[in-house]
Amino acid sequence: MPAVAAQTWCDRCGEAAASGAHEQCAAARALEPPRYCARCRRRMKVQVLPIGWSAICVEHGEIRS
Amino acid sequence: MPEILDQARDQVLHNGVGLDEAGVLAVLNLPDEHLSATLQLAHEVRMRWCGPEVEVEGIVSLKTGGCPEDCHFCSQSGLFTSPVRSVWLDIPSLVQAAKQTAATGATEFCIVAAVRGPDDRLMKQMREGVAAIKAEVDIQVAASLGMLTQEQVDELVDMGVHRYNHNLETCRSYFPNVVTTHSWEERWETLRMVRESGMEVCCGGILGLGETVEQRAEFAAQLAELDPHEVPLNFLNPRPGTPLGDRPVVEGRDALRAIAAFRLAMPRTILRYAGGREITLGDLGTRDGLLGGINAVIVGNYLTTLGRPATDDLKLLDELKMPVKALSATL
Ligand code: SF4
Ligand SMILES: [Zn+2]
Ligand SMILES: [Zn+2]
């Protein structure tokens, strides 16, 4: 899982990673898949499976756990 | 020992008759000092009337998000500004999910869709999906597809779906505060048809929606009246963008008291840990609930959020000497 600090956008709340605090987002992400693409802020198509998840950004492709 | 626990020992433990609404309320109002005795009694009731086995289940979302309904806790409603996008799972991935679930030792696989009720496309996907799972995986298939017509009930029976989940979510008196796009009675009607079809009825709800303690007791009594085969108990995990997104999570001890009280209302039901236990109870509380009336778990991830690793739960069950219910025992 990429570190939140290295991203342009918070992958949980979709706000700029550099503005504001995202500690709560980072903590919540332990039990949630990402929802926003950290590179372009698009909402991703996320599929949670019993084991693992996948998230697709139309621009930046798929990430998986 | 408080009087209500003496009464419960006699009525529920010895005679198998669940507590009524007033009894459940008395249990929910017990002070913290009696919590461990309450959990202990609920555990004895579970062991006496259900036995030591734990039913393990995995769930998967066949159709995520974009639901036209407005259940205020739900990140899959298309009416809120939730970040959850609409997505469909393809059949090979569905079968793969069933295989992963079976590999944990689970005997139940529940296919869920975020819909008011199924349309033709969803029923077709179900028919293909259930057939593909049955051809390749040794697991019982359950479904949760919202409100059904009689024809859809019959079709699901025909597909070999053995259990249908449809949660009442909360008590009748509080339901209009949580859902406005359909009624509690409409949900009850689907449950009635499911029951009559011979499918097992799975019906539970979510605690922490803002209901009072009295309404929690009302809910337990209404579930007991329905007498479902299984009751999944969720604790609100407040989802960003939903009307209940800012609600506090249920206190661990209130969650445990509720688990025990629901067990004392329904001595024979499968009482399942569902969503929200990780944030409400954590690891320690998870154990306390399994020793306080719970006899089933959802392992792995939920529909839009993640659970703790299945291996952690299986290890815990092993430590507690609670065998995982085997498939042969459920057929
Ligand atoms: S019907 Fe189900 S999926 Fe739709 S909003 Fe209500 S809980 Fe969510
Ligand atoms: Zn954030
Ligand atoms: Zn992107």
Please provide the DSSP assignment of B203-239 as one string: --EEE-SS--HHHHHHHHHHHHHH--SEEEEEE--PP
Which tokens sit at B11?
Answer: 């009525």
CA distance B29 to B35: 10
DSSP-based three-state secondary structure for B42: helix
Average pLDDT over residues B323-328: 90
Q: Residue B330: is its pLDDT beyond 70?
A: no
pTM score of the predicted model:
0.95
Q: Is residue B328, in this structure, part of any structural domain at all? A: no
Q: Is residue B5, in this structure, part of any structural domain at all? A: no
Give residue B24's identity as a one-letter amino acid code. Answer: V
CA distance A18 to A2: 15
The total of structural domains in chain B comes to: 1
DSSP state of B62: E
CATH of residue B162's domain is 3.20.20.70
Q: Residue B319: is its pLDDT beyond 70?
A: yes
- Kindly determine whether residue A48 and residue B305, on different chains, have CB atoms separated by under 8 Å: yes
CA distance B261 to B247: 23
CA distance B227 to B250: 25
Which tokens sit at A18?
Answer: 């550099």
Residue B257, annotated ligand binder? no
Give residue A28's identity as a one-letter amino acid code. Answer: A
Q: Is residue B112, in this structure, part of any structural domain at all? A: yes
Interacting residues of B10 by C-beta distance below 8 A, sequence separation 6+: none
Q: Is residue A28, in this structure, part of any structural domain at all? A: yes
Interacting residues of B183 by C-beta distance below 8 A, sequence separation 6+: B175, B176
The pLDDT value recorded for residue A19 is 87
Q: Residue A2: is its pLDDT beyond 80?
A: no
The answer to whether the beta carbons of residues B73 and B175 sit under 8 Å apart is: no
**Helix (H), strand (E) at residue B157:** helix B150-159
Neighbours of B167 (CB within 10 A): 21
pLDDT digits (tens, 9 = 90+) for B167-203: 999 999 999 999 999 999 999 999 999 999 999 999 9
CA distance B34 to B8: 14
Q: Is residue B144, in this structure, part of any structural domain at all? A: yes
Q: Residue B331: is its pLDDT beyond 90?
A: no
Query: Range of A43's domain?
Result: 17-64
The total of structural domains in chain A comes to: 1
Distance from CA of B312 to the nearest CA of A (A): 13
- Kindly determine whether residue A31 and residue B96, on different chains, have CB atoms separated by under 8 Å: no
Q: What is the ipTM of this complex?
A: 0.91
Find the ligand nearest to A13 CA: 2
Query: Range of B88's domain?
Result: 18-319
Interface test with B, best of A48, A54, A56, A65 (most B CBs within 10 A): A48
The pLDDT value recorded for residue A4 is 46
Which member of B84, B101, B305 has the closest CB to residue A50? B101
Q: Is residue B266, in this structure, part of any structural domain at all? A: yes
Q: Is residue B73, in this structure, part of any structural domain at all? A: yes
Average pLDDT over residues B209-224: 98
Which tokens sit at B19?
Answer: 């507590």
Q: Is residue A32, in this structure, part of any structural domain at all? A: yes
Q: Is residue B7, in this structure, part of any structural domain at all? A: no
Q: Is residue B197, in this structure, part of any structural domain at all? A: yes
Which member of A14, A44, A48 has the closest CB to residue B304? A48
Q: Whose CA is nearest to atom 2 of ligand 1?
A: B114
CA distance B143 to B57: 12
Of residues A1 and B211, more confidently modeled: B211
CA distance A20 to A15: 8
Q: pLDDT-based confidence at B36, cuts 50/70/90?
A: very high
pLDDT digits (tens, 9 = 90+) for B258-268: 999 999 999 99
| Alpha-carbon Rg for chain B in angstroms | 19
Q: pLDDT-based confidence at A6, cuts 50/70/90?
A: low
CA distance B19 to A40: 55
Average pLDDT over residues B123-127: 98
Find the ligand nearest to A17 CA: 2
Please give the distance, rounded to the nearest whole angstrom, from the Cα atom of residue B68 to the centre of ligand 2: 27
Distance from CA of B59 to the nearest CA of A (A): 6
Ligand 1 binding residues, C-beta < 6 A? B 67, 69, 71, 74, 76-77, 114, 146
Neighbours of B130 (CB within 10 A): 22
Average pLDDT over residues B282-304: 95
Interacting residues of B264 by C-beta distance below 8 A, sequence separation 6+: B8, B12, B18, B19, B23, B24, B27, B41, B42, B45, B293
Q: pLDDT-based confidence at A20, cuts 50/70/90?
A: confident
User: At which residue do the structure tokens 């992958």 appear?
Assistant: A11
Distances (CA, A) of B170 to B22, B133, B274: 17, 32, 15
Q: Is residue A6, in this structure, part of any structural domain at all? A: no
- Kindly determine whether residue B304 and residue A44, on different chains, have CB atoms separated by under 8 Å: no
